Amino acid sequence: RDFQQADVKYLSRWKKWKRTSSKSLKKMLNEVKGLSSYLVLWRHDIRNIGGRFGTGIQSYFSFLRFLVLLNFIIFILMFGFVTLPTIISTYGIFNSTVAKISPQNIEYNCTIYEPRGNKGLVYFFTYLQDLFSGTGFLEVTSLFYGYYTVDNVWISMMRYNLPLAYLLATFAYLALSLLWIIKRSVGGFKQNLVHDADQFQSYCNKVFAGWDFCITDPNAAWLKQRSLQYELQTDLEEERLKQKIADRTIKEKLRIYSLRIIINIIVVAILSGCFYSIYRVTVFSQENSNVSMRTDSIDNMNFLANLLVQYLPSMVMALANFFGLQIFTFLIKFEDYLPAFEIILTLMRCVFLYLANIGVLLFSLWSQISDCAAGKCEPCGYNYELYPCWESNVGQEMYKLMLFDLIMILAMTLFVNFPRKLLVSHCSWKLIQWYGFPEFGISDNVLQIMYGQTICWIGTFFSPLLPAIATVKYFVIFYIKKISLIHTCKPAAKPIRASISNLFFLAMLLLGLLLAFIPLGVSIASIPSSKACGPFRNFNTSWEVVPVTILEFPIGLQKVLFGMASESFAVPIFMVTCLIMFYLIALSGAHKRVIEQLREQLVLVRFDPLY
């Protein structure tokens, strides 16, 4: 400091001012950053949860906050670029006008779309059914795809291409989600690599750096001590099991492998049964829902029956997810894997079940939409009699799944966990005391919200305002889970380390996002768009708006864009990408060898006096 102050005497006024202003700016930015931390959503609540229950559970609530922010930004994106221009043009704000292009060279039957809406006097039961199923008055609102029938919006002399904006906004929210998840995954991935690098290092981390200094609650401190003890016991048990596996005889290996094959056959049979049940129930629900929608008379019993029929797929999927998790957790105990691999394999089976159920539901819907038997879709390319606006029907299914998921979470907390807590607290029966308080399982809760977020990603294309519902849903879930954790549940006896849990949460979320790419890609590029509703009714598919828009560009720009989409451009790009990948792999190998040499040198520090 004395040297720098002496050096200031010989600086020019410009350099002195530059140095002073740089220090002032840096100080101001630090203060602004400190103040902005107080504006972070649920900052105080999440810190208190971390202090009472440790960083593993804290990471779950931080994950919930991330999903609230992500869905809110997706909602702003879809509302700003799709919903708002449509509303502005509909009501003539800013002297805007609407340009609607009538479908050409299309059969008249394909353009008939008459949603039930609100016609005359409507029973209260009908309003409830519409609210829970997305039909009736909700079907004709901006919540669903069928509302957006505008082709162009003119504001003064500026033309706004709504179909192109709709498609680009879809690509934008998918790309934003992918980049944000990858960015958050990098830190946890690095920590996980360091943590799993060496077993000796793992023991050192637990003994010397395993304590969580955020904990302030005595019960949480006791739980953390028990957790560290459990982790050390687990590590020692894994070492014993590895030795036991190495000492197995051929007869024991044959027995274990035969048992694993039988259990995997059972798992495949359970998955197949779930998928077939969802397929049959979805077909039944779609056929009978469309029949019931054509009838105007409704009473109390009809209302309940119609609502039950429409929610059958959601109910069967919820039951499949719940019982599948319990069965997989039970079967894994007989396969004699290492404890860490048991957890991973069980969760991977559950993730596959959750995501595959969504895939089967969508496949069932598309099989109905594309059912061309007996010339049902000859003029339009899809089953227009059953699905005059099939995109809105898919959006309604995603809307019902979203609502039912929230209802199930509320029901489990209010009607299962809370009564169980009361029974254990006020009843001294040994059976009830043995059953104990419900555990706050981090993995189970993450599976639930991963399932809901995948539904949101898929459904946003068919229901542009679905992210707003997801934002409110996760906002409510945060407080439900917080109250449940503090008042009705106990932390899991086998908690997950925070760095590993963050990476695990994001990896499951990334799987859900990759699954969402498949149905959206098929819907946009392969299935003919509805000719009676939506912004793409004048195109064969939703993707066709891109080449049609490019044809409006100047000839030179058209050649450049079509050239970039050709094989002559794609092959060199692929070759360059492969070369870069091989270079990075070689660089990674070199870094790995350097790390091994440094570890050897660290070992020498303890023995060689020259060091």
CA distance 388 to 531: 8
Tokens 């019960």 sit at which residue?
219
Evaluate if residue 353 carries a pLDDT over 50. Answer: yes
Q: Mind giving me the DSSP string for 207-231? A: HHH---TT---HHHHHHHHHHHHHH
Per the structure block, which two tokens stand in for 174? 């998918």
pLDDT band of 191, cuts 50, 70, 90? low
> How confident is the model at residue 18, as a pLDDT?
80
> How confident is the model at residue 74, as a pLDDT?
94
pLDDT tens track for 245-262: 888 888 888 888 898 899
Cross-strand partners of 158? 155
> How confident is the model at residue 331, as a pLDDT?
86
CA distance 423 to 430: 11
Per the structure block, which two tokens stand in for 39? 């504006």
Mean pLDDT across 136-158: 81
Mean pLDDT across 577-585: 92
Pairing of strands 490-491, 439-440: parallel
pLDDT tens track for 299-334: 555 667 777 777 788 888 888 888 888 888 888 888
Mean pLDDT across 434-449: 78
pLDDT tens track for 253-305: 888 889 889 998 998 999 888 888 888 888 888 777 655 555 544 455 566 77
> How confident is the model at residue 471, as a pLDDT?
94
> How confident is the model at residue 72, as a pLDDT?
95
> How confident is the model at residue 467, as a pLDDT?
94
Mean pLDDT across 344-354: 82
Q: Report the percentage of the chain scoring pLDDT > 90.
A: 12
Mean pLDDT across 445-459: 89
Evaluate if residue 390 carries a pLDDT over 60. Answer: yes
Mean pLDDT across 193-210: 69
Q: 542 near 381, Cβ under 8 Å?
A: no
Q: Report the percentage of the chain scoring pLDDT > 70.
A: 84
Angle of helix 43-53 relative to helix 218-246, nearest 10 degrees, comes to 60
Cross-strand partners of 152? 99, 161
Helix (H) or strand (E) holding 252, with range, is helix 250-293
> How confident is the model at residue 68, as a pLDDT?
93
294 vs 77, residue with greater confidence: 77
Residues 6+ apart with CB under 8 A from 553: 561
What distances in angstroms separate CA 404 from CA 163, 319, 357, 469, 473, one per listed residue? 31, 12, 15, 12, 11
Evaluate if residue 244 carries a pLDDT over 90. Answer: no
Q: Share the mean pLDDT of the chain.
A: 80
pLDDT band of 534, cuts 50, 70, 90? confident
> How confident is the model at residue 93, as a pLDDT?
72
Least confident piece of the model among 99-103, 156-160, 291-295, 313-317: 291-295
Least confident piece of the model among 197-211, 244-258, 573-587: 197-211
Please state the pTM of the whole predicted model: 0.81
> How confident is the model at residue 297, as a pLDDT?
47
> How confident is the model at residue 289, as a pLDDT?
66
pLDDT tens track for 1-40: 777 666 666 677 777 788 788 888 888 888 777 776 667 7
Q: What phi and psi values does residue 155 have, to the nearest 5 degrees?
A: -115, 105
- For 394, what's the count of Cα atoms within 13 Å in the CB-facing half-sphere? 31
> How confident is the model at residue 236, as a pLDDT?
80
Evaluate if residue 392 carries a pLDDT over 80. Answer: yes
Least confident piece of the model among 159-168, 235-244, 514-523: 235-244
pLDDT band of 461, cuts 50, 70, 90? very high
